[in-house]
Structure 1
Amino acid sequence: MKRRKFIQNASLSSLGVVAGASVIGCKENKEATSTLASEEVTSNTIVKPLVIATWNVNNATAKAWEALQQGKSALDAVEQGCRVEEADPKNQSVGYGGLPDRDGRVTLDACIMNKDGDYGAVVCMQNIMHPVSVARKVMEDTPHVLLAEVGAEEFAVSQGFEKTNLLTEASKKAWEEWKKTSLYKPIINIENHDTIGMLAIDKNGDISGACTTSGLAYKMAGRIGDSPIIGSGLFIDNEVGGATATGLGEAVLKTVGSFLIVELMRNGMSPQKACEEAIGRIIKKNPNYEDFQIGYIAVNKKGETGSYSIHEGFWVTKYVNDKNTNTASEFYNKK
């Protein structure tokens, strides 16, 4: 399974506050065409149901599609789809088997949003395999929207979630090997870290989304990225559409990228152009953009989809019209 994997630089000080200019304004892009963009439906057509997710996660999108075919909501679909990756020990960046922080602790972040704009999240949670489901419980069964660390774990246990040692033998060995050098060096699409972000439209045309991750491999204890943060890792507006992010969380947080994409779609941009604009704003203010990867996916109310990344190697999985397909995303940095 081909995945984007990279390590964060020891210093992120060069990542500035992002503003201005589209991708096309940053660099000539005439030779590229987006497979996803070319598959967008016409403006008069509504596609439903639909599932789209970051990376090559066919099993996850298949599970979400199954839920939609059973008449379940988009919210049910994204939760069930994300749980597939959370339970897979071979995926060392999500849930069980996720790579730990520099102290050997596996901490998980996740969020979920429904058609009404309700949001729930957990951050830095240990010992619970399915943070996306705990995030939904936070959203639906508490007066809060975000729980952290021990509080999140205790809440999960109170809701019937079982404690699990999330550090598998494979991830432990990888961590022990990393400790020999403790080196932070970005290797685009190679380092063991990626996020699953998923968006879905159900039979009623309602949109929901979820995002789940074990975060940056060997991160500082307590580090939180964009994935569980509303407007950064995920944003849904049922009147407009939704977007979700993957990549270096610090850069996504500084741009509130998913919210930006939804607002651009609100103002008439297609999902594809909105993703390109969001990446363009990051590139313009970050001369070191070659050192890190960010990818976005988006869907609008009509079922049109888009994706864009800084570098080659970002893949998207989409399930629509009974077809579950992986597509290489269009990207900016063409050498």
Structure 2
Amino acid sequence: MHNRRNFLKLATTAAAAFSWKSAARAASGAAPTANKPVVISTWDFGLPANKAAWEVLAAKGRALDAVETGVKVPEADPRISTVGYGGFPDRDGRVTLDACIMDELGNCGSVAALEHVTHAISVARLVMEKTPHVMIVGDGAFQFAQAQGFKKENLLTPEAEKAWKEWLKKSEYKPEINIENRSYNGNDATTFNPLRLPGNQYNHDTIGMLALDAQGNLSGACTTSGMAFKMHGRVGDSPIIGAGLYVDNEVGGATSTGVGEEVIRICGSHLVVELMRQGYPPEKACQEAVERIVKKNKQRASQLQVGFLALNKKGEYGAYCLQKGFSYAVCTSADKNVLLDSKFYFKES
């Protein structure tokens, strides 16, 4: 009995000491520190987007402001045929945009099939902040944008119109893989110069962005003009919370790019975040999501591209895709904004 009392006393003392030391370690910041701030985004045009987002993060700004600021860069660049102004139209010649945004509190906003407004991401944020809804679409989205002060714009550039008229000659719809052209000089974000080569009209290169700010909070944004020459009214994964984008501030965030129908079928970004919740590192979580797509229909998956990008609460990041060619940009300081190649499922024969 005496030994048992001594054992219990020692155990209780040890437990109390462990609890006190754990609390002290947390209070003193001795626990592992997060790699923050950090911003990551899809494709080569993620470099200039990251650069803009980093300016917000470096000033200890909110991740939400950073991702909105970042993706507005490609939205406004007429050289990019997959996002915003200059995006290729649907088969009726109408440029329609999809976007969503999500903050650290789980608030989210989305627009789909939005016309006549370059910065769909900013309209999506206002849906989040000024309405009781998550998603507004079509003419309703444009009416809401106008009510918020956005002016009507013509988003169809001469280059995009020319490509559409060329497409009309055959009206074939055969999306190609990895249309986005790498046209940087190394990793220098200042040398971005997308090329419009023959065949580039069949694209699907969304920009998705995730950021972890100095306060340790996560947010994400996703914006696109969708597949070129899609059926009018077609909406992909980009504006759908849980498909094209998902953020859980306790765990991490994920975004996707590529053929949205395949992402929707597995609720891809939500799946990636839930896998990270279970302990998967970001890259492995993205890989598992890609393999789910393959499992659904390997033949179909072999003919298209889908990529996932993820960032966890620790500031760890990773990506994985179906086919070789998916690039993503990572910025961790003003002078470290680099382009990386994602690992991929289908190996070259």
TM-score scaled by length of structure 1: 0.86
The CA distance in 2 between the partners of 1:106 and 1:310, in whole Å, is 28
Q: Tell me by how many angstroms 1:72 deviates.
A: 1.3
CA contact (8 A) 2:177 2:203 kept: no
Q: Give the superposition deviation at 1:44.
A: 3.3
How many angstroms apart in 2 are the aligned matches of 1:74 and 1:167? 31
User: 1:85 and 2:103 equivalent?
Assistant: no
Following superposition, the deviation at residue 69 of structure 1 comes to 1.0
Give the 4+ runs in structure 1 shifted more than 6 A.
none
Amino acid at match of 2:329: T
Question: Gapped runs of 5+ residues in structure 1?
Answer: 1-42
- Structure with greater helix percent: 2
1:56 equivalent to 2:67? Answer no
| Residue equivalent to 2:132 | 143
Q: Hey, what does 1:332 align to over in structure 2?
A: 345
Q: Secondary structure at the match of 2:127?
A: helix
- Partner of residue 215, structure 2: 204
Equivalent residue, structure 1, for 2:311: 299
Deviation for aligned residue 1:84: 0.4
Q: What stretches of structure 2 of length at least 5 have no aligned partner?
A: 1-30, 180-201
C-alpha distance in structure 2 between counterparts of 1:194 and 1:279, whole Å: 17
Q: Could you tell me how far 1:163 is from its partner in structure 2?
A: 1.0
Name which one, 1 or 2, has greater alpha-carbon Rg.
2
Paired letter, 2:138: E
Write the mapping of 1:257-296 to structure 2, written as runs, cut at 5 A: 257-288=268-299, 289-296=301-308
1:272 is matched by which residue type in structure 2?
E
**Are the equivalent residues in 1 in contact too, given 2:54–2:333 (CA < 8 A)?**
no
Q: Distance in 2 between matches of 1:182 and 1:321?
A: 45
Q: Alpha-carbon deviations, 1:268-290, whole Å to 9, x = none?
A: 11001100000011011212211
Identity of aligned residues (%): 57
2:119 paired residue number: 130
Shift of 1:232: 0.2
How big is the shift at 1:45? 3.8
Q: Which residue of 2 aligns with 1:220?
A: 231
> Which position in structure 1 is the counterpart of 2:94?
105
Distance in 2 between the 1:161 and 1:223 partners? 23
Deviations 1:187-221 (A, max 9, x none): 21123331000000011000000000000100001
Structural mapping, 1:250-261, within 5 Å? 250-261=261-272
Correspondence for 2:176 among 187, 190, 208: 187
The aligned residue for residue 25 of structure 1 is none
Q: Partners of 2:325 and 2:214 in 1: how far apart?
A: 32
Over aligned residues, Cα RMSD in angstroms?
Answer: 1.0
- Structure 1 counterpart of 2:254: 243
